[in-house]
Chain A
Amino acid sequence: MINRGEFQDKLPDGVSLGVQIHDGGQRKVFEADDGGEKVVIKLMPEEDRNRAEREVAIGSTFDHPNLPRILDTEVFDVELEGEEFVWFRERFIEGETLEARGNGFDPCEALSLAADLAAAVTYLWERHTVVHRDIKPINIMVRPEGSFVLIDVGIGRHQTESSITSGLLGPGTRGHVAPEQMLPNKGRKLDSRTDLFLIGIVVYQVLVGVRPFRPERPDYETKLMAGEWPRPDGLPKPVADLLERLLGNRPHQRPSLAQATAMIDAARKELECS
């Protein structure tokens, strides 16, 4: 438990802590008012300093509608009840998480989600050589006007970092991982195509209501590694084709970022999505 009063007392003047919007154990996310601007404050234990610093280093440069801008350029230390923490501010995104929004998307809504996520992933990869690695409904915000923002970039890794291939399943979430994330010790590098696979899982989920690979089932890993997932009936062909490519078992079977974007655009056009 964090003592909110103690944290508030140690924040700079003009920053007023609001409601807690996420509780990930030691990792907390608060709404806050910063001199009249609504912001998000992320608080992490000292052990997560590297992750926080990475998130700030990357996120403070973001200038993209589908990614959150970090407002600080460094992390701040704070001691709460004798324990060391770090914190930083991020621009507040109005709306709700995709998890809260739920499934039941129509094909055009799903393609809009795919387009926004692909744009975010393209920006992360082409500008920062970063793979997000944990694209899932709770890490996607739905703005009131319907656009999507990919959040929690802190667990993303620069492709050349040596630790990138070590120690899955963290980061990554069971049910929302690509096959290559399950083989951390085989020297496989992750790249943007891993994120495309994860986008495929989310798009499938919002359309079908369940994930293509069901983590609650005993054969989950076997099916994931073999690339066996149920093809849903009734999807328009361009959407089914897109899922087929995004959920390619091996990275080489998936599209490039440019191809994925082109496929999504073509599908939206074919389905006459607005």
Chain B
Amino acid sequence: MPSEPVELLQGTLDLIILRALSTMGPQHAYGLAARLAQVSDHPLSLNQGTLYPALVRLEHKGWIKGAWGKTETNREAKFYALTKAGEKALQKEAEKWRRLAGLVDKLLLES
């Protein structure tokens, strides 16, 4: 039974994409969307088109790099890969996220 949809916090989508690329290797936007749906058991009912601004943002920051390639079914698609700067950024962002999550957890448990 899927739980209620979660609204994405600003900035979390970037982190999720970086993480997905880090574990799965180069992916196209469809693959990323499928991955997001899979890990979350569909709680993030985001329109797949919403990924695009995030991808452009990450590309401009130099964290990921897009290149045209072929899928297993021999369709052309743009594959995004994590860059060196992206790996570093993922570590930093993940650390930040964990600290923030820990803080929020603590605050929620206190009451």
Q: Do A and B come from one complex?
A: no
